[in-house]
Amino acid sequence: MSYQSLYDAALQDPQSFWAQQANQIAWFHTPPTALTRDEEGLYRWFKGGKMNTCYLAVDYHVEQGRGNQVAFIYDSPVTNTKKQYTYKQLQHEVARFAGVLHRLEVKKGDRVLIYMPMMPEVAFAMLACARLGAVHSVVFGGFAANELAIRVDDATPKVILMASGGIEIDKIIPYKPIVDKALTLSKHQPNHVVVLQRPFVLAQMQEGRDLDWNTMLYKIRKHPCVEVDATDPLYILYTSGTTGKPKGIIRDNGGHAVALKFSMKNIFGVDAGDVYWAASDVGWVVGHSYIVYGPLIQGCTSIIYEGKPIRTPDAGAFWRVLSEYKVKTFFTAPTAIRAIKKEDSEGLLLKQYDLSHFQYQFLAGERCDVATLEWLSNLLQRPVIDHWWQTESGWPMLANMVGVELLPIKPGSAGKCVPTYDVQILDENNEVLDANQEGAVAIKLPLPPGALPTLWNDTQRFIDSYLTAYPGYYFTGDGGYKDEEGYVYITGRIDDVINVAGHRLSTAAMEEVVAGHPAVAECAVIGIEEDLKGQVPVGFVVLKGGVDISEAQLEKELIQMVRGHIGAVAAFRRAVVAKRLPKTRSGKILRKIMRAMTDGKSFSPPSTIEDITVLDELNELMREHKIGVAFS
């Protein structure tokens, strides 16, 4: 079947399409219907179906005779460690750790927060939660104590699972001080913190609360899979919101499993037994969907890589992994490719490796610039496929579906709509725009399975954030356009969320920190285009009267403050002092115009001479400090 015939049939009758796809997974009790609405009028998929995600990802394959197939390959150049786990061994590890959680009185519906780097035990922990019907919430290890505390208070976990530390290239990052500080900041306190000690950094244990991971495994009984409803939550994953407060994205069990099973074969072109690698982190949605759950549900071999694209040990690290493990499909972020290109612009390191098994290269997590896509295409001589999705969707919304039909690749486009995503470009009046007209990227309701049904304990915020701006549609927060052939081009965020090396971060959260400096009267943090990370934040600050501080000292202190409150992942490294900031008549800072100025894009000029003068001042300031592509 061609892509277009598949998409048209699915769009014409999405319920029948997804009911058919639901037959591809093993239910304990088949759902009586595909699509329903709950008491709040929100769409839910496969209500009444009974299943268990851990069973689908692990036990099912053992029962089908694939117990000796490798499920996970752990490759850690930063610790010089390589391990492999078959599906049978994975079942043993996960069932045992589910027994640990059961001993700690974790049961169906309880929350467990996970704060760990890329290592096998983080996947064991996620799957063990799924096995019990508990709801896990993984927090990226680069996040600071304040951000961790916010998530603890929102998710109210019964238990926190953590490693004693991680390694960033050659720098040891102790995790325990961050967790301890977070728990002094949070109102909610977990019953226990289970600590996996790593030999290079030992955590100080708090008596009565902290428990040793390996000691807990001693003489533990394995726990079976618990039956859950398809609409029960599998996990909460927090993503940045425009208010600065993170949004707890809920992923349900049934729709998630059906969507990921469909995507692995039809989008990424892999079958059971194939080796699939997503070079990401389980702290992000890519790690959830395409390191742990998607590949395992499909019966693939997945790679857990604890390293970087460069300096572990060099810019050939990714090519080494692709070659050594005979990877068929590879998924990473454009930032990683730009880093490799910077270190090895001629691609000489690639020539050392045999990539004969390697077929498809996928890129996502941020907008892929044309130069990076073309450089990688020329280097690999294989299809390089940009695609687009969000934490909220959980799986691709736009893609070139290589498992169905490899369509012509158009650099700059993230591809065509995936069944049954009805992506439209809307104007401010909720009208669908013609081809090549830029507007808001929105998706006609209902969303397909796998997409968020709501937010954790905040249905009203879900409605306000996603469903209100364009009635009848889910608003993605992105702008873009379609061409005459239906290819969609994503041009960037419309709201105040920026994408730093594939990590979605709130400028509002950074502004809150910057505004807390005693010398700052007001501020604006905007994301500007940057060659390596895609976007980086820059702060523009107006000082209080009578303040005596040098710009260099202020910048240094603001960098430390943002790092302390949000973490190094924010990549906040520049702050400049301005006389005043451009504003609307109502006092709202014109961040969109400021972003357009730094990125060298056109914008509608303000109406008054005073406003034009403010912009002229800001333009000169940006030029003086060489901020943005327009002035560098």
Strand order in the sheet with 574-577: 520-530, 534-543, 574-577
CA dist 575 → 501, 511, 524, 613 (Å)? 20, 11, 10, 21
Distances (CA, A) of 622 to 239, 419, 627, 629: 30, 44, 5, 10
Residue 441: per-residue pLDDT = 96
Task: Tell me which residue has tokens 């049934």.
Answer: 254
Question: What pLDDT shows up at residue 599?
Answer: 80
Instruction: Look at residue 241 in the predicted model and tell me its pLDDT.
Output: 64
Q: Sign of torsion, CA 335 237 461 11? A: positive
Residues ≥6 apart with Cβ < 8 Å to 113: 136, 137, 138, 139, 151, 152, 155, 157, 159, 160, 161, 190
Look at residue 305 in the predicted model and tell me its pLDDT: 98
Helix 609-625, helix 591-598: angle, nearest 10: 40
Q: What phi, psi does 425 have (nearest 5°)?
A: -105, 120
Block mean pLDDT (10 aa), the chain, length 632: 96 98 98 96 97 99 98 98 98 98 98 98 98 97 88 98 94 96 98 98 97 96 98 94 79 98 98 97 95 98 96 97 98 89 92 98 87 93 97 98 98 96 95 93 98 97 96 93 95 74 77 88 85 87 87 94 88 89 66 82 61 79 82 66
Instruction: Tell me if 94-221 shares its fold with 499-625.
Output: no
Q: Residue 579: how many CB atoms within 10 A of its CB?
A: 10
* Closest by Cα among 205, 194, 122, 121 to 157: 194
SS3 breakdown of the chain: % helix, strand, coil, rounded to 5?
Answer: 35, 25, 40
Contacts of 324 (CB under 8 A, 6+ apart): 75
Convert the pLDDT of each residue in 554-570 to its tens digit.
999 999 999 998 888 88
Tell me which architecture the domain covering 94-221 has in CATH: 3-Layer(aba) Sandwich (3.40)
Q: How much is the pLDDT for 611?
A: 61
Domain 499-625 maps to which CATH number in 3.40.50.620, 3.40.640.10, 3.90.1150.10, 3.30.300.30?
Answer: 3.30.300.30
In the prediction, which pLDDT does 242 show?
A: 57
Domain ranges, ordered by start, for the chain: 94-221, 499-625
With 0-12 / 13-18 / 19 or more C-beta atoms within 10 angstroms meaning exposed / middle / buried, residue 602 is: exposed
Q: What are the two backbone dihedrals, phi and then psi, of residue 523, each rounded to the nearest 5 degrees? A: -155, 165
How far is the C-alpha of 388 from the C-alpha of 56, rounded, in Å? 26
Q: Which residue in this structure is represented by tokens 């730009």?
A: 338
pLDDT at 243: 58
